[in-house]
Amino acid sequence: MFAAFSAFLIILLALLWLCQTVFLNSFYKAVKVSETKSAVKTVSANLENEKLEYIVADLSNEKDISITVLDSENNVLCSAKGKNNRSMFDSIPEGALSEFYSKAKSNGGEYSEYASGKLFSDMKATDKNDDSQKPDELNGESDKEKNKPNSFLICKIVYTQNSNYTIIANASIMPVDSVVSTLRVILIAVTILTVSGAFAAAILMSASLTKPIKNISEKAEELAKGDYEVEFSGSNIKEIDELSSSLNHTKTELGKIDSLQKELIANISHDLRTPLTLIGGYAEVMRDIPGEVTDENLQVIIDETKRLNSLVTDVLDISKFNSGAQQMNFEKVDLVECVKSVIPRYNKLVESENYKIEFSSNAQHAFVNADSTRILQVIYNLVNNAVSYTGEDKTVKIEMTAANGTVVTHIIDSGEGIPEDKLPYIWDRYYKVDKNHRRAQLGSGLGLSIVKEILLAHDAAFGVSSTLGKGSDFWFEMKTV
Ligand code: ADP
């Protein structure tokens, strides 16, 4: 930052130095020449104006240029010597004037040149013109001439309908050397002041801008190493403050994901180990003791394999929802048909263990916009839980009510119910109300969290009401189309 600041300052100061000292002389000369030329132009446009004398006097005074207008007989029509009366026009010898005139004539009516005071005095002394002295050499570059005021002279012959006129204008160009040396002193002071000012500003800016950024990047490094306790502190600069708070938010989210991941690994490894131990144990017993190869033991292995399978499917589903990789394919689905298609899955249970699954609906059809596979999974998971936890009567009721553009589906069991203080947690991953419950030991604890994710993706309302000893009522509500 300091380097950029210094570079900018150096360029700025260099430009100032160049303009104020090196080019000042040239600028000044160029301005004077242009002013003189424009004055001559104005006079030539007003030659036959009866107020010519006033125009010439005004121009001469305003621009400090001496102007003389001669008629065709070389008589002075009007003349003005400028504000400071400093013109060297008077010192131009006769011979020089007639030479300027003839040069103007041969040059298409206009001739101009820089001349030094020395030249004019030389001319006066010798009363002759030296052609070898070219304008460039007379620019006052030699030491002697440097201190003498330079002069710009222009001679213009103007032809009108009736006559012809000669306009001679002369502007003094004062040497700016003394001004330049004064400016140099001022510039040295300005340079010292600005450089120390820039230094102070750079230190201040670094304290208010660079330091907090450095601080943030150091903390970000710590965060990258897995320290989720770091605290990004703000500063009095709004943008840095915003950056700090968004990094704090990122840190919190990353921390959550990290602990979730750890929890997930712990749960999965625990849940996988149980069926694997069972499968391994039963298989070993059956290998070592021939009499143990029974249908029941084989069924344990089959059940545990199924359990493993459903656990892995659940874990995959939930991780798809978490990563956002789960795409929904919305289509028009008949919810009544969905429920009806789930019931036959429990036929075996109904027949062998006398379970009752009762379905009632106030409508023949209830069309909703949904991903049919996922909605089937919701119904299946809820019915599965209800079957698992229902009471002695082994009854599960599915009640559907379609009204006012919505359809509400209730899955009701007659089981033990869920304590009210546990109700908010049952939708969390791996949450089990009673870990010792037979069904809970079999379940993954992911079923309801998958239901929650799917229903949220469908913008559906859902909930549960439960009475201890009486049973639970899980419901979800969707808009009909
Ligand atoms: P699990 O696979 O263990 O059933 P869920 O996410 O489906 O996991 O359910 C979470 C917990 O909520 C269960 O362990 C259980 O304690 C409780 N639960 C879910 N459904 C019912 C129900 N119908 N009756 C009583 N408790 C239930």
**pLDDT at residue 178 above 80?**
no
Tokens representing 195? 């450089």
Q: Which of 44-58, 177-191, 280-294, 388-402 has the lowest mean pLDDT?
A: 177-191
pLDDT of residue 116 exceeding 90, the answer is no
* Residue 221 forms part of a structural domain: no
Here the CATH number for the domain that contains residue 248 is 1.10.287.130
Tell me the mean pLDDT in the region 52-77.
88
The H or E element containing residue 319 is: helix 295-323
Same domain, 230 and 171: no
Residue 141: its pLDDT value, please? 44
CB contact set of 7 (below 8 Å; sequence gap of 6+): none
* Ligand 1 geometric centre to CA of 408 (Å): 21
Exposure of 431 in the CB half-sphere (CA atoms within 13 A) = 13
- DSSP label at 480? B
Residue 1 has pLDDT above 70, yes or no: no
The pLDDT of residue 140: 41
Q: Per-residue pLDDT for 191 more than 90? A: no
Q: Residue range 70-75: average pLDDT?
A: 84
State the pairing for strand pair 356-361/395-403: parallel
If asked whether residues 264 and 355 sit together in one domain, one would say no
Our answer on whether the CB atom of 426 is closer than 6 Å to any ligand 1 atom is: yes
CA of 202 to the centre of ligand 1 (A): 64
More confident: 169 or 235 = 169
The CATH code of the domain that includes 114 is 3.30.450
The Cα 153–Cα 76 span in angstroms is: 17
Q: Which of 274, 413, 432, 468 to mutate to test the pocket of ligand 1 (most atoms within 8 A of CB)?
A: 432
Residue 130 has pLDDT above 50, yes or no: no
More confident residue, 47 or 409: 409
Tokens for 476, please give them.
Answer: 């979800």
Residue 479 clears pLDDT 90, i.e. is over it: yes
Indicate whether 86 pLDDT > 90: no
| One domain, residues 163 and 23 | yes
Any domain includes 192: no
Say what the pLDDT of residue 109 is.
87
Q: Which residue in 366, 367, 374, 379 sits closest to 328, CA to CA? A: 374
Check whether 361 has a pLDDT greater than 90: yes
Region at 367 (left for phi over 0; alpha for psi -120 to 50; beta for the rest): beta
Ligand 1 binding pocket includes 410 (Cβ within 6 Å): no
Distance CA 52, CA 72 (A): 16
Highest mean pLDDT among 145-149, 190-194, 330-334: 330-334
Q: Is residue 236 part of a domain?
A: yes
Half-sphere exposure of 427 (CA within 13 A, CB side): 13
Tell me how far CA of residue 351 lies from CA of 343, 357, 391, 394, 415, in angstroms.
Answer: 13, 11, 17, 12, 20
Residue type for 268, please? I
Average pLDDT, the chain: 83
Same domain, 49 and 102: yes
351 and 438 assigned to the same domain: yes
Of 186, 190, 175, give the one whose Cα is nearest residue 24: 175
Q: Are residues 418 and 275 in the same domain?
A: no
Can you read off the two tokens belonging to residue 357?
């699954």
Name the residue of 426, 430, 474 whose CB sits within 8 Å of the most ligand 1 atoms, as the mutation to test its pocket: 426
- pLDDT (average), residues 465-477: 95
> Does residue 346 form part of some domain?
yes
For residues 173 and 257, state if they share a domain.
no
Report the separation in Å between the CA atom of 21 and the middle of ligand 1, taken as the mean of its atom positions.
89
149 secondary structure, DSSP code: P
Tell whether 200 is covered by a domain. no
Do 308 and 382 share a domain, yes or no? no
Which of 52-66, 88-102, 316-330, 458-472 is predicted most confidently? 458-472
Of 302, 322, 342, which closes a domain? Answer: 322
Q: What is the pLDDT of residues 255-303, one digit of tens each?
A: 878 887 787 777 777 778 878 988 999 999 999 998 889 998 999 899 8
- State which ligand 1 atom lies nearest to the alpha carbon of 411: 23
Query: At residue 123, does pLDDT exceed 80?
Result: no
Centre of ligand 1 to C-alpha 464, Å, is 11
CATH of the domain at 336: 3.30.565.10
How much is the pLDDT for 134?
Answer: 41
| Domain-terminating residue out of 268, 294, 322 | 322
425 belongs to a structural domain: yes
Average pLDDT for 214-219 = 91
- Indicate if 29 and 175 belong to the same structural domain: yes
Opening angle at CA 419, ends 417 and 423, nearest 5: 95
Mean pLDDT confidence for 163-172: 87
Give me the number of domains the chain comprises: 3
- 155 in the same domain as 46: yes
* pLDDT tens for each residue of 408-460: 999 999 999 999 999 988 998 777 777 665 555 566 778 898 899 999 999 99
Domain ends where: 277, 304, 322? 322
Q: Are 468 and 440 part of one and the same domain?
A: yes
Q: Could you tell me if residue 264 is left (phi over 0), alpha (psi between -120 and 50 degrees) or otherwise beta?
A: alpha
pLDDT of 441 reads 55
Rounded to the nearest 5°, which phi and psi values hold at 93? -70, 160
Which CA distances in Å does 453 have to 311, 449, 481? 17, 6, 22
Is residue 116 in contact with ligand 1, taking CB distance under 6 Å? no
Q: How far is the CA of 418 from the centre of ligand 1 (A)?
A: 9
Shortest-distance Cα residue to atom 4 of ligand 1: 443
Structural domain boundaries enclosing 395: 327-479
Q: Which residues contact 202 (CB under 8 A, 6 or more apart)?
A: 1, 2, 5
pLDDT above 70 for 126: no
Distance (angstroms) between ligand 1 centre and the Cα of 146 equals: 105
| pLDDT tens digits along 63-72 | 888 888 988 8
Are residues 336 and 415 located together in one domain of the fold?
A: yes
Give me 278's structure tokens: 């069972």
Looking at residue 246, its pLDDT comes to 92
**Minimum mean pLDDT range among 317-326, 344-353, 404-413:** 317-326
Work out the pLDDT band at 209, boundaries 50, 70, 90: confident
pLDDT of residue 87: 54
How much is the average pLDDT of 165-188?
81
Taking a C-beta distance cutoff of 8 angstroms, is the pair 350, 375 a contact?
Answer: no
**pLDDT at position 125:** 45
pLDDT higher than 50, residue 317: yes
Residue 161 lies in a domain: yes
Phi-psi region of 63 (alpha: psi -120 to 50; beta: other; left: phi over 0): alpha
In a domain, 394, yes or no: yes
